[in-house]
Amino acid sequence: MTVYFIGAGPGDPDLITVKGAKLVERCPVILYAGSLVPKAVIERAQPQAKVYDSASMDLDEITQVYTDAHAQGQDVARVQTGDLSIYSSLAEQTRRLNALGIDWQVVPGVSSFQASAAALGQELTLPEQCQTIILSRASGRTPVPDKENLKSLAQHEATLCLFLSATLIRKVVRELSDVYAQNWPVCVVEKASHPEQRIIRGTLADIADKMHAANIRSTAMIIVSKVFAIDDFVDSKLYDPSFTHACRKGKVLDAAMDSVKVATVVEASSHE
Ligand code: SAH
């Protein structure tokens, strides 16, 4: 008997993995986070499956579902939003399962920050301009360690994806304004991949008012990044004709010929 923690993806029921969907189809017990996991994902379950919504349960009640299933020798599909590596309470659940000697596995999912980037049609890393993505949240009722405060994260000028922070947008703007100019780009995606998805593009100067006007208060990803304002980035090395890597030999343009003619680069032999 195993508890399978399955990332359901960001909302579109087609964005669960094939592996996750197959487990939902075959597990006799389903425990899903009803607030964010779409019903269509759960409709894959067998008609006789026991289906529980964890939205109103506490950790003890959730653990009881695992214990009962274990006693019956029944696998559990534990379905949660996005990917389990981010703000999922996976760790506290698996700690209980370890203590009880119950086996578990994790099946990854598409995270909401990825679905938000897809909705925006935006690569979050750009060659030589931004090569790091920080996933974080603003500190509110749930505290964030002081060393991870937004002002210090902003120093890196990396793409900053903020979960669970929609109601804290004014605080986010205040803290980031100590480091960035007011025209620093900020995009917000509400309910990425859902039919009612909404996108707001703005800057530190106006994003809070725009979100307020649109009444966006939850299920929203805030992405703060210069990548939204950069269009003069260089091409990547990956597809650079002169760059050799493990899967492809580079070609160089021969300066003596004209640019139409290309010569294959002979890779240096490694005798030394
Ligand atoms: N494990 C999840 C995150 C859970 S925390 C993941 O990988 O996506 C819940 C937060 O995720 C929300 O407050 C919101 O910031 C974000 N979120 C979840 N689904 C979203 C969606 N469809 N669109 C935008 N943000 C979403």
Domains delineated in the chain:
2-110 (3.40.1010.10), 113-229 (3.30.950.10), 237-272 (no CATH)
Q: How far is CA 208 from CA 96, 159, 170, 201, 217, in A?
A: 40, 18, 6, 11, 11
Ligand 1 mean position, distance from CA 200 (Å):
16
Cβ neighbourhood burial of 221 (10 Å; 0-12, 13-18, 19+): buried
Ligand 1 mean position, distance from CA 190 (Å):
9
The string of pLDDT tens digits covering residues 177-193 is 999 999 999 999 999 99
Using the Cα atoms of residue 98, residue 99, residue 103 and residue 109 in order, give the sign of their dihedral: negative
Q: For position 250, what pLDDT does the model report?
A: 78
pLDDT, greater one: 20 or 269: 20
Percentage of the chain lying above the pLDDT 70 cut: 92
The string of pLDDT tens digits covering residues 89-141 is 999 999 999 999 999 999 999 999 999 999 999 999 999 899 999 999 999 99
Q: For position 264, what pLDDT does the model report?
A: 43
Tokens of residue 215, six digits: 């009444």
Q: For position 266, what pLDDT does the model report?
A: 42
What is the pLDDT averaged over residues 45-64?
96
Q: What is the pairing mode between strands 159-163 and 2-7? A: unpaired
Ligand 1 mean position, distance from CA 64 (Å):
26
In testing the pocket of ligand 1, which one of 79, 80, 81, 165 has its CB within 8 Å of the most ligand atoms?
A: 81
Query: Which atom of ligand 1 has the smallest separation from the CA of 194?
Result: 22
pLDDT of 259 strictly over 80:
no
Q: For position 219, what pLDDT does the model report?
A: 95
> What is the per-residue burial (b if ≥16 Cβ within 10 Å, else e) of 131-152?
eebbebbbbeeeeeeeeeebee
Give the H or E element holding residue 208.
helix 207-214
CA angle 63, 66, 70 (to 5 degrees): 140
Give SS3 for 186. Answer: strand
What angle, rounded to 10 degrees, do the helices at 169-176 and 207-214 form? 170
Query: Which atom of ligand 1 has the smallest separation from the CA of 113?
Result: 8
Residue 269 confidence class, pLDDT cut points 50, 70, 90: very low
pLDDT of 253 strictly over 70:
no
Length of the chain: 272
The whole-model pTM stands at: 0.90
Amino acid of residue 103: D
List for the chain the helix, strand, coil content (%; round to 5): 30, 25, 45
**What DSSP character marks residue 221?**
E
